[in-house]
Amino acid sequence: MVRNDRWIKQMARKGMIEPFEEGLVREGVISFGVSSYGYDMRVADEFKIFTNINNTVVDPKNFDPKSFVEFKGEVCIIPPNSFALARSVEYFRIPRDVLVICIGKSTYARCGIIVNVTPLEPCYDKETEVLTLEGWKKFADLRGDETVATINRDGVLEYQPILKMQKFRFTGEMIHIRGRNIDLLVTPAHLLYVKNKYKNYFEFIPAEKLYGKYNYELKRDCLWNAPDVDYFELPSIELDSIEKRGCRIRNKILTCLDGDYMETEELYKACEVTVSERTFLYHLEKLYEQGFVEKKKSRKIIKGHSVGINLWKKIKYDPIPEYLPPLRIKMDDWLRFFGLWLAEGSAYKGKDGNYIVKLACFGKNRQIVKEWLESLPFHFIETDTGFQCNSKQLASYLMQFGKAHEKFVPQFIKELSSRQIRIFLSAFMFGDGNMQTETFTTSSKRLADDLQELILKAGWAAIIRKIPKETHKERFLKDHIVKSDHDIYKIRISKKHLTPKIYKSSFSKVPYDDYVYDVTVPNHTLYVRRNGKACWSSNCWEGFLTIEISNTTPLPAKIYANEGIAQLIFLKAEEECEVSYADRKGKYQAQQGIVLPKI
């Protein structure tokens, strides 16, 4: 059944057509937008114009890309009896149970200009990973409900949902692009997100077309738009049984102090508590220190002698909670501490029941660290190896990050502004980094992945290098033998070379016989990683349509970019087909841009 304008609009709101024009734009242009029973798509301003100067025969099985001259502009002129390839402005996601028929615009047809549209295979190898909101994941491990890192036209990182997942068997030669900062293994038709060094914008170009070229650059960095956060809140914590008992005694005292001043002995009897007078007086003094009660000295005649006594009165009426309330700490101060602690700290509960937080610190850095710690609401003492604090509230929070090989960065830090992320990274570098080479070291793979993500959001890029534990050598540190039982990860920051060049030597072809993977996202870009080297690349998508425009006249013909070129008619089946074009791995499936003939 042919679908009408209501259905087309409804499906467009779900992402079937982007960008989408709800009405039919006609004035002064070749019309485009929604019509009664179809959608008039536009032609983009990128053209490949056929020329016969290099060939005498056109061979569909061995088409020479040199037969095209590239043109970008508002008006494309096609020579007499020649043709051009172009692409649609719109991006289409066609449902499985829908067939689309494309018919050239009558405005062009009446001028002897015929429009044909080819149907809409880019994918990554099984070792490639993609950055998601949950961290780095291999494509094969994706569930499908993740949000993944994409980049928009302004170069800003955006997290977007996965619209569709792709997986199919690929047998043939993959294209390997490898360099000091890059490592990609993709199918030949996969579109790379690249910039010609003579242009000022990035575009999608098939890997097979770039093979052996050297005037192109990949992209490794991005902008990250997130606001500063003023405070970190250290969670409240329930008191232990002994501390709770003390709270109950103090609340009992406050309940009894419900009127005028009472002397100590009178108050002790009124409370009817099962503790000694000495313990009772300790809790009274704590209430005084915390501002719950007022103390006034007086005198009393006892057996003919004048004796000094204390009188007590309640001045604060809030009960004392049986937990430590949340602590608000300035975010910048917390990031300096937490970055340093994650690199060089530990937190644990001792055998005596005390909660301990330690920071390792040696040499001239001590004074700087001491100043950082003084800005926090905790009492740290200096030790031979650094600093130590006995705080159950602080230790309980930090213990969740585990031992050195288990550590990770909490999600809220990944959501901070670039400025605050740099504060965290700088503190981590101060604790466990090489400032000359700008390299972090950790035994936690999860932490290494988190650091690479944070470095991206700070406006830079990073490479992770794994050093297997079997290759480690024993070393001495402060008269102690140190040997790691875990793999070591080196994360090196790149503040330069953020758009690495592709050289002829960067390319090679690799035999491959296994599954390949990809996903579809609205921005059509993904931040991918292979062997610790990350860059921006494209996703697999249903795509921009490749348009063939034939000039059958003996005169040059004008084609107007960003105006109507062809009408799409949508036919919806009563039920889905058993095998779709995507299922049988159609050779033009998921094309991005203008794709040449292939078999």
Do the beta carbons of residue 292 and residue 247 sit within 8 Å? no
Q: Which residues contact 61 (CB under 8 A, 6 or more apart)?
A: 599
219 and 498 Cβ atoms separated by less than 8 Å: yes
Is the preceding omega at residue 325 within 30 degrees of 0, hence cis? no
Report how far apart, in Å, the C-alpha atoms of 79 and of each of 86, 354, 385 are: 15, 85, 80
Question: What is the spatial distance between Cα 539 and Cα 537, in angstroms, rounded to a whole number?
Answer: 7
- Distance (Å, whole) CA 517 – CA 124: 5
Domain residue spans of the chain:
5-120+543-572, 129-220+512-530, 237-323, 327-494
Residue found by looking up tokens 């650091």 in the block: 451
430: enclosing H helix or E strand: helix 418-432
Q: How remote is the C-alpha of 571 from its chain's centroid?
A: 38
Q: Homologous superfamily of 5-120+543-572 in CATH? A: Deoxyuridine triphosphatase (dUTPase) (2.70.40.10)
Cα 28-593-169 angle, rounded to 5 deg: 150
Rounded Cα gap, residues 125 and 106, in angstroms: 44
Tell me which CATH homologous superfamily contains domain 327-494. Answer: Homing endonucleases (3.10.28.10)
**Tokens 């006995």 appear where?**
390
Is the CATH number of domain 237-323 1.10.10.10? yes
Longest dimension (CA), the chain: 132
DSSP string, 22-72: SSEE-TTS--EEEETTEEEEEEEEEEEEE--SS-SS--TTS--GGGEEEEE
129-220+512-530 CATH, one of 2.170.16.10, 3.90.25.10, 3.90.1150.10, 1.20.120.1200: 2.170.16.10
| Backbone φ, ψ for residue 528 (5° rounding) | -115, 160
pTM of the model: 0.68
Residue-wise pLDDT tens for the chain (599 aa)?
Answer: 889 999 999 888 877 888 999 999 999 999 999 999 999 999 999 999 998 776 668 787 777 778 889 999 999 999 999 999 998 999 887 765 677 888 889 899 889 999 987 544 447 899 999 999 999 999 999 999 999 999 998 999 999 999 878 887 888 899 999 999 999 999 887 889 999 988 888 988 888 889 988 899 999 999 999 999 999 999 998 888 888 898 999 999 999 998 889 999 999 999 999 999 999 999 999 999 989 999 999 888 887 788 889 999 999 888 888 888 899 999 999 999 999 999 999 999 998 888 999 999 877 789 999 999 999 999 999 999 999 999 999 999 999 999 999 999 999 999 999 999 999 999 999 988 888 899 999 999 999 999 999 999 999 999 999 999 877 666 655 555 666 688 999 999 999 889 999 999 999 999 999 988 988 888 889 999 999 999 999 875 456 788 899 999 999 999 999 999 999 998 875 654 444 444 444 444 444 444 444 44
Are residues 188 and 208 in contact, defined by beta-carbon separation less than 8 angstroms? Answer: yes
Query: In DSSP terms, which residues pair with 307 in a beta bridge?
Result: 300
Nearest to 111 by CA among 569, 545, 554: 554
What is the Cα–Cα distance from 127 to 123, expressed in whole angstroms? 12
